[in-house]
Amino acid sequence: MSAADTEAELRRLLLAGLAGDDVAYRRFLQLLAGHLRGFLRRRLFGWPDDVEDLVQECLLAMHTKRHTYQADQPLTPWVHAIARYKLIDLLRVRGAREALHDPLDEAMPLLGAAETDALDARHDVLEMLQSLPAKQRRSIECVKIAGLSVAETARLTGQSESAVKVGVHRGLKALAARFGVTRQPEGQR
Amino acid sequence: MRTDELITLLATRAAAERQAPAAAALLRAVVVGLLGALLIMLAGYGVNPALPQLPGRPMFWIKLGAPALVAASGALAVARLARPGVPAGRVGWGIALALALLWGVALAQWLGAPAAGRSALLWGQTWRSCPFSIGLIALPVLLAALRALRELAPTRLRLAGAAAGALAGGAGAAVYALHCPEFGAPFLAVWYVLGMALPVAVGAWLGPRVLRW
């Protein structure tokens, strides 16, 4: 189903639901949950356990704020804005500094895979990270992919801050050496 | 709770307990806020005794119209930012137009006046209190708009707060104009603009603090 079809279908179900059709509304929420799961999983792949919680958080938010959707407005931007707001909120609560996709975008040229789509890139990143020792891998996942600060990563993983920094630095260096990327990783975050 | 269970729970309540749409909630806020602003102006300042003659003076209409334009632009921005996925749009142009009007007329009057009379045009009698009076009169509108926004779903909190501030500042200045004894355009261009900027700054500061949901 194309994005336009999905939009039309979801919109039809939501409007029917708001008009009192509980079956349509239920179907709307189910379809929406599926899309949200995909959207959030791509952005939270360092935190698979949080995906379902955030899906529920978003569903609840969209339900309680459904009066802010107007029938003459496209549904996708509305859904997207709320999901993104809740995602950033989760990261902020965790003390994260940025939305996830920024660090991910930065990491792409480093991996020499700027052309591949996000799914492949994610697969590649995960596979490459697997080749690192556990502590380096965890540090890179937290700092470079999830966008946490060094201090937060240290608290989260029980390492010292300098150990996190060293882990990120050595890990990236090892990846660069192994996968033949010449550009030096940029300054530590 | 599993997601299926949550959906089952929510699914029976689609049509029930629905809140008012954004436009209605904001309209209510503007009415309530304006009433509050008028009350403060009447009780604390009083209408300009010369009011019956004022409609004959072009400056009165500029004093009323430019802030009203700012308020309308702010209201439009609030209405858009209150709904997820709706961009703020080009409401900045409305505010820019109001400022251009104020500053253009002020410049013309300033250049056309004899050098000795210029400082009176700029400072008037009430420059010390004017911005704060506008800020005070704007307060009920700002609070009402922020309260309405809390029931809606702004996702850009600082911007939404600032837009509520523009709505409040414009409304406050327009209401204050019914009292204000000043008629120098340079006075308006500086002190009215400062007075309107005050609620914008407060709104931008409050936005991320009070609008989270």
Query: Per-residue b/e over B94-112, b at no fewer than 16 CB within 10 Å?
Result: bbeebbebbbebbeebbee
Angle formed by the axes of helices B157-176 and B130-151, to 10°? 130
Give the contacts of B92 (CB within 8 A, at least 6 positions apart).
Answer: B73
Per-residue pLDDT of A7-62, as tens digits, reads 899 999 999 988 888 899 999 999 999 999 988 888 887 677 788 889 999 999 99
A72 and A126: one domain? no
- Report DSSP state, residue A183: S
Note whether residue A65 is domain-resident.
yes
Average pLDDT over residues A153-180: 78
Give the rounded distance of the alpha carbon of A34 from its chain centre. 15
Note whether residue A155 is domain-resident.
yes
Note whether residue A171 is domain-resident.
yes
Asked which of A41, A72, A93 is the last residue of a domain, the reply is A93
DSSP secondary structure, chain B, as one string: --HHHHHHHHHTTSSTTPPPPHHHHHHHHHHHHHHHHHHHHHHHT---TTGGGGGG-HHHHHHHHHHHHHHHHHHHHHHHHTSTT---TTTHHHHHHHHHHHHHHHHHHHHHS-GGGHHHHHHTTTTTTHHHHHHHHHHHHHHHHHHHHHHS--SSHHHHHHHHHHHHHHHHHHHHTTT-----HHHIIIIIHHHHHHHHHHHHHHHHHH---
Asked which of A42, A66, A93 is the last residue of a domain, the reply is A93
A119 and A86: one domain? no
Per-residue pLDDT of A80-95, as tens digits, reads 999 989 988 887 776 5
A38 and A105: one domain? no
Note whether residue A188 is domain-resident.
no
A108 close to A114: Cβ distance less than 8 angstroms: yes
A133 and A115: one domain? yes
For the cut 90, the answer to whether the pLDDT of residue A100 exceeds it is no
Asked which of A59, A93, A127 is the last residue of a domain, the reply is A93
CATH number at A53 reads 1.10.1740.10
Note whether residue A13 is domain-resident.
yes
- pLDDT band of residue A1 (cuts 50, 70, 90) is low
d(CA A46, CA A28): 28
In this structure, the number of other CB atoms found within 10 A of the CB of residue B20 comes to: 14
For chain A, how many structural domains are there in total? 2
Note whether residue A115 is domain-resident.
yes
Per-residue pLDDT of A102-155, as tens digits, reads 555 444 444 444 444 555 555 666 677 777 877 787 777 777 765 566 776 776
A63 and A112: one domain? no
Range of the domain at A168: 101-178
pLDDT at B82: 94
Extract the residue ranges of chain B whose pLDDT is less than 70: 15-18
A18 and A64: one domain? yes
Note whether residue A141 is domain-resident.
yes
Q: Which of A33, A78, A82 sits opposite B7 (nearest CB)?
A: A33
Angle formed by the axes of helices B130-151 and B22-44, to 10°? 150
**Interface with chain A: mutation pick from B1, B5, B10, highest number of A CBs within 10 Å:** B10
CATH number at A166 reads 1.10.10.10
Note whether residue A107 is domain-resident.
yes
A167 and A123: one domain? yes
pLDDT at B22: 81
SS3 content of chain A, % helix, strand, coil (to 5): 75, 0, 25
A23 and A44: one domain? yes
- pLDDT band of residue A96 (cuts 50, 70, 90) is very low
Contact residues of A toward B, CB < 8 A? 17-22, 25-26, 29-30, 33, 52, 55-56, 59-61, 63, 65-70, 73-74, 76-82, 84-85, 89
Residue B52 CB burial class (10 angstroms; 0-12, 13-18, ≥19):
exposed
A162 and A88: one domain? no
A50 and A115: one domain? no
Interface A–B counts its CB contacts (< 8 A) at: 87
Q: Tokens in use for A103?
A: 């660090």
Distance from CA of B9 to the nearest CA of A (A): 9
A162 and A136: one domain? yes
**Interface with chain B: mutation pick from A11, A28, A68, highest number of B CBs within 10 Å:** A68
A115 and A146: one domain? yes
B36 close to B137: Cβ distance less than 8 angstroms: no
For the cut 60, the answer to whether the pLDDT of residue A183 exceeds it is no
